[in-house]
Amino acid sequence: MDSTTDKGKVCVRILLVDDEAAILRFLKTVLDSEEFCVYKAENGRLAIAAAAAVRPDLILLDLGLPDMDGIEVIKRIREWSNVPIIVLSVREREEDKVTALDAGADDYLTKPFGVGELLARIRAALRHALQQAPAPVYKIDDLEVDLIRRRVTLAGVEIQLTPTEYDLLRLLVTNAGKVLTHRQILRQIWGAGYIEQPHVLRVNISNLRHKIEKDSSRPRYIVTEMGVGYRLKADFPENVGTKANG
């Protein structure tokens, strides 16, 4: 797996999964020209790990991988993520397409394909994913999160978040007012392999609070529900200030 982006840059991230170097180079060139942030994986195992670590906005997946079938990759990712998955495959039988779509793929494009069609399918999948979210802009007090532009501001000043911090904040935003358990958040952001590692979540919540809270020890936005999880405030009564405890 590798990335073409600088650490901390927030952009539309696409994970390419294919074992053919020539295909990866071609797709990377196409997506780079559209200013996507490109990540790569050459087999199913790396693809699943990258999906959890990178948290891509979309996955382009070949089915004929060296270590496992792409259908299994789709099923494994669908256990914890709703990321749009577009299959790119030489398999052109209707049965193969139905199997992939039933497993959880969002779209299926047969190789060879035109660049224009591929980009149109990507745009459509990203639009559909965005429509599943609630309001595109979350604003409370001085904090504003623009889900379309992937931009976070505090009192009008843009806040630089790492990709993981942004995904964590986006998850809280799209569930504003609801309590998310530690296990729910760990599964959604890092994958099933991390649900018994709450320290990973505590560290990232702490880092996020230091960036968006005026006083991270008395958070006004990300509230700790003791022993349960976290909640992003959906409204702002007077004199809010819950002591942080992890």
Kindly state whether residues 126 and 141 are assigned to the same domain: no
Kindly state whether residues 154 and 215 are assigned to the same domain: yes
- Whether residue 244 lies inside any domain: the answer is no
Tokens 């020890």 appear where?
217
Total number of domains constituting the chain: 2
pLDDT, averaged across the chain: 86
Kindly state whether residues 83 and 97 are assigned to the same domain: yes
Predicted TM-score of the model (pTM): 0.60
Domain end marker among 131, 154, 175 = 131
Q: Could you list the residue range(s) of the whole structural domain that residue 159 is in?
A: 137-232
Helix (H/G/I), strand (E/B), else coil: 179? strand
- Whether residue 1 lies inside any domain: the answer is no
CATH number at residue 153: 1.10.10.10
Sequential pLDDT tens for the chain (246 residues): 444 444 445 689 999 999 999 999 999 999 999 989 999 999 999 999 999 888 899 999 999 999 999 999 999 998 878 899 999 999 988 889 999 999 999 999 999 899 999 999 999 999 887 766 556 788 888 899 988 778 899 999 999 999 899 999 998 988 888 888 898 899 888 887 888 889 999 999 999 999 999 888 889 899 998 888 898 987 643 333 333 445
Q: Per the structure block, which two tokens stand in for 208? A: 């996020």
Kindly state whether residues 116 and 145 are assigned to the same domain: no
Kindly state whether residues 222 and 152 are assigned to the same domain: yes
CATH number at residue 94: 3.40.50.2300
The model's pLDDT over 88-142, given as tens digits with 9 standing for 90+, comes to 999 988 889 999 999 999 999 999 899 999 999 999 999 887 766 556 788 888 8
- Whether residue 204 lies inside any domain: the answer is yes
Kindly state whether residues 126 and 17 are assigned to the same domain: yes
Q: φ, ψ for residue 129 (rounded to 5)?
A: -65, -40
Question: Cβ distance 38 to 30 under 8 Å?
Answer: no
Kindly state whether residues 103 and 193 are assigned to the same domain: no
Q: Per the structure block, which two tokens stand in for 58? A: 């979309």
Question: Cβ distance 105 to 82 under 8 Å?
Answer: no
Domain end marker among 112, 131, 150 = 131
Kindly state whether residues 98 and 146 are assigned to the same domain: no
